Amino acid sequence: MRLVDTHAHLCDEQFSETVDQVVARAQGVGVEAILNVGTTRASSEECVELVKRFPHMRAAVGIHPNYGHLAEADDWAKIEKLAELPVVAAIGETGLDRYWQDCPWETQTDYFERHIALAHKTSLPIVVHSRDCDAEMVAFLSTILPRYNVKGVMHSFVSTWEVCRACLDLGMYISFAGQLTYKKQTALREVASKVPVDRLLVETDSPYLSPEPQRSLRPNEPARVCHTLDVLAQTRLVSPEKMGEITTENAYRLFPRLAGGQNAP
């Protein structure tokens, strides 16, 4: 079974003692690449350092929309510097968030466009977070993205088909996390059944979003991406092995630098 976890936060403090075992367990079930995603200048630096230890891991560097207001004056310049490193495979996590109210909206949109511009400049894809802001996200992406030559992923996608289709039309990939496995998320599985097969990705968003049937096990970890993949396969009426092939190929197409690891073909 081939698997790629396209979104994990392995520099979260919950993994500080266990990261080697966590990575080994993932490799044990066939996870052949992991994108380790930063959320601040400091965590982006840590992500870069961590992935240097694992040939099948790459980093995403950026400032998460919930942390923009905490960034210091030279943090963005440091992110731009990190983005030049060959172990960096994506720009993010960036995006918009109306659920948490801490970061002013203007700060969020300012940083979001900076990430898109940096992705354009470095020819790297963006990793987009969107929470409780469907209309604003579609409006922002529709306005800003066409100004740049940038592709990316809507990570942990949980919105409607209408939002999904708008993102697809803009060239974005759609990544599903543990929510896809939750009993109540029938509408989300319906969305997942309609996404073009060459735009589907899976992720864990570790340490968050533990999938069924291990929802109570925390922290979540990349080895459990197989559960989300299984549900996606059922939804699409194909075997898990086939869906593993499809999502792995898609991951390497969107994130070419992820494919450079020792376990990759």
- Residues that bind Zn ion in the complex, under the rule CB under 5 A: 93
Q: Which is nearer to Zn ion, 179 or 236 (CB)?
A: 179
Least Cβ distance, residue 169 to Zn ion (angstroms): 24
Least Cβ distance, residue 41 to Zn ion (angstroms): 16
End-to-end CA distance of the chain: 13
Task: Let me know: does 109 contact 140? Beta carbons within 8 Å.
Answer: yes
Other Cβ atoms within 10 Å of 190 Cβ, number: 12
Other Cβ atoms within 10 Å of 148 Cβ, number: 15
Least Cβ distance, residue 239 to Zn ion (angstroms): 29
Q: Which is nearer to Zn ion, 204 or 247 (CB)?
A: 204
Least Cβ distance, residue 130 to Zn ion (angstroms): 11
Least Cβ distance, residue 193 to Zn ion (angstroms): 24
Cα-atom radius of gyration of the chain, to the nearest Å? 17
- Rounded CA-CA distance 68/109 in Å is 10
Q: Which is nearer to Zn ion, 51 or 233 (CB)?
A: 51
- Rounded CA-CA distance 265/12 in Å is 29
Least Cβ distance, residue 222 to Zn ion (angstroms): 13
- Rounded CA-CA distance 60/88 in Å is 6
Q: Compute the C-alpha angle 54/56/59, nearest 5°.
A: 80
- The CA distances from residue 80 to 14, 117, 176, 248, in Å, are 27, 10, 28, 28
Q: Which is nearer to Zn ion, 95 or 233 (CB)?
A: 95
Q: Which is nearer to Zn ion, 5 or 93 (CB)?
A: 93
Q: Which is nearer to Zn ion, 7 or 151 (CB)?
A: 7
